[in-house]
Amino acid sequence: MEREGHTTALLTGAMLGSVLALLYAPKPGSEIRKLLMSKADVAREEAQELAGYARHLVEDKAHDLRPLTFRRHSSMENEMDTKAMKMGLLVGVAVGGILGMLYAPRPGKETRQILKNRAEETLEDALAAAEHARDQATEQVKKAKAAIAAKRAAEAEAEATQS
């Protein structure tokens, strides 16, 4: 059950990050990917140097470490669960944001303008549909009133002929 919450937090974060990235991407994803690929070799070399340094530090300090054990309390577990869900959400936002930036079909400014235009068109369509529905309802009310008046007139005429 707890893992479902973590997964939900991660997926929610990924969706949120993707949407934000699509809306605020500075360039199309294809341009961002090209830029990242050109920087990848430098980053790879730096990462290898950093990994070597970290490995050296771990080997030097390994003898100082002793296994630590402690008993978890339920409140501590709850706190850790909450932190894990928050971390899942943040990781999801980051991953979704990165993927959104890398695959954005156009800059965010253009995407936002397209969404704004579509929202305005949808509003206009909704207002036109509402006006049409109002006109149809008004017409139906007029027909219903005419039918009621005709029925009353027919009833009054039938009553007058019976008397």
Same domain for 54 and 17: yes
Q: Is the pLDDT of residue 40 over 60?
A: yes
Same domain for 114 and 102: no
Task: List pLDDT tens digits, range 113-139.
Answer: 998 999 999 999 999 999 999 999 999
Q: Which domain does 38 fall in, by range?
A: 1-106
Task: List pLDDT tens digits, range 62-77.
Answer: 656 555 444 455 666 6
Same domain for 101 and 48: yes
Q: How confident is the model at residue 99 (pLDDT cuts 50, 70, 90)?
A: confident
Same domain for 20 and 82: yes
Same domain for 7 and 75: yes
Say which residue the tokens 């002929």 belong to.
161
Alpha helices in the chain, H assignment, sequence order: 2-24, 29-61, 74-102, 108-162
Q: Which residue has the higher pLDDT, 37 or 145?
A: 145
